[in-house]
Amino acid sequence: MFELLLLFIPILLSCFFLFYYKPTPRGGGARQLPPGPRGWPVLGNLPQLGAKPHRTLHALSKIYGPLFRLRFGVSEVVVAASADVASQFLRVHDANFSDRPPNSGAEHVAYNYQDLVFAPYGQRWRYLRKLCSVHLFSAKALGDLRWVREGEVGLLVRALVHGRTEVNVGKAVNVCATNALARAMLGRRVFEEEGAESGEFKEMVVELMRLAGEFNVGDFVPWLRWLDPQGVVAQMKRLHRRYDEMLDGIMVEHRRGEVAAGRGEGERRDLLSVLIALKEKGDDEGEGGKLTDTNIKALLLNLFTAGTDTSSSTVEWALAELIRHPAWLRRLQAELDAAVGKARLVQEADLPNLTLLQAVVKETFRLHPSTPLSLPRVAAEACEVGGFCVPKGATLLVNVWAITHDPASWGPLAAEFQPDRFLPGGKHERVDLKGNDFELIPFGAGRRICAGMSLGIRMVQLMTATLVHAFDWALPEGQTPEKLDMEEAYGLTLQRAVPLMAHPVPRLVAEAYDSITPN
């Protein structure tokens, strides 16, 4: 096999240069492609990305400017690395970049593009997004399920009070976020407590985000796809089988529960009940066809992964930053004590009054954006951005991490944790997280902005506020706040390379903890 490959490599290289190599157009105006580094034969710039592509691309933007071009195999790739360039793509040319390029993750994990995140832009995508918006993410749905989120955060506090002395913060928060979302989606918890089952689910989500963040050579060099040189596709297929088995079990159990409870049409409140009812009725969503079990499982997969890991990892980063900066931790605790007192836990109704909390959350999203590189989009037609030609079929990557660390937007201390930049009187007081201010777009922007943004912001604010208000946090023996490991582990979401381990020390009056009851 190896000898055959050696024989065919020169032929394959020749084919590549004959059929795929296109020299950069010369001349001014929009005929000129953006600048960029030279790449390797065949693979282009893929080998140059390194272990942390968001940082590599940030470094390249300092050389080639905020809009530059790469070649990944046979694919043209353009990278937006400033707020101004990102707004050109995601506001001015948003319609032109509303689709995703083909990729292995969508094919082998996300049920072959049957989900919401990777589905082609069109009628079915709009239908799935509308279902989620109405039944999970609308103002009414969020208000109706506020008691669920507060109840799950209360159970997290109770588990920390009565649990081990040292806590893996990310895992504990992930259980809370997953159960809160599951009760809205399925009408029940999926984990009763942090344990082997919840730990396995967290590992599955992290593995999915890691694989989804991989630049798979087979996606960019079609004639190498069958070799799966990195083993990425094989790992995706194994992970998909595990998820499919889990989701099949959830749907079977849910149908049994509906029958056993004898619930009528008007009593179906959770999203899965609505989806199953629509599927059984055969409701047609238009050009996208009818809902299938595969559509439903793909949608559940999106929500369970994107809706849990992003929130829990952001809370973990927020708490780590506050532990590293004890003065800010004390200031936030003082704000919470003044607004909430020490006799009860934080409620969602308190959040609008917590100015410093909102600033801390924004600063965490800025320093540690949950998705450091946006999910890719593809150009439907050629267009002009910043005086350069972006060719039809080019893949767009928005380097969210580079934008949130850009000194042009954030000043010379862009790499420092400074929540006061978002406080009244601060330079970025009016910047929000909702895709309107391109200096800070952790949820993306435009048509493909994260559907669960409103829920994500609420969960991160509520969990962060509660953990800071209810506990003081001590690091394991031998660790000091100033030397806390803040290394990143790259994936579709930005995980901590080393999980945050800390000891929660209750700081409220006993009645605040004793009053916590399951709901």
Domain enclosing residue 384, as ranges: 71-514
Q: Is residue 269 part of a domain?
A: yes
Q: Looking at the 3D structure of the chain, how many domains does it have?
A: 1
**331 within domain boundaries:** yes
pLDDT value at position 137? 92
pTM, rounded to two decimals = 0.91
Residue 53 lies in a domain: no
What is the side-by-side order of every strand in the sheet holding 471-474?
167-168, 501-506, 471-474
Write out the H or E segment, with its range, that includes residue 132: helix 123-132
- pLDDT reported for residue 3: 43
pLDDT in tens, 456-478: 999 999 999 999 999 999 999 98
Whether residue 230 lies inside any domain: the answer is: yes
Burial 18-35 (b: 16+ CB within 10 A, else e): eeeeeeeeeeeebeebbe
Residue pair 278/257 in contact by the 8 Å Cβ criterion: no
- Average pLDDT, 10 consecutive residues per value, the chain (519 residues): 41 44 43 93 94 96 98 97 98 97 93 93 92 91 94 95 86 92 88 72 87 91 92 95 93 80 59 88 60 92 88 97 98 98 97 98 97 96 96 98 97 96 96 95 95 95 98 94 93 91 95 82
> Which pLDDT score is estimated for 2?
35
Residue 41: inside a domain: no
Residue 15 DSSP SS3: helix
What is the per-residue pLDDT for 203?
A: 87
| Strands 471-474, 501-506: pairing kind | antiparallel
Q: Is residue 7 part of a domain?
A: no
Dist CA 454 CA 445 (whole Å): 13
Q: What CATH number is given to the structural domain containing 182?
A: 1.10.630.10
Assigned domain for 468 exists: yes
Residue 372 belongs to some domain of the structure: yes
Mind listing the pLDDT tens digit for each residue in 159-180? 999 876 899 999 999 999 999 9
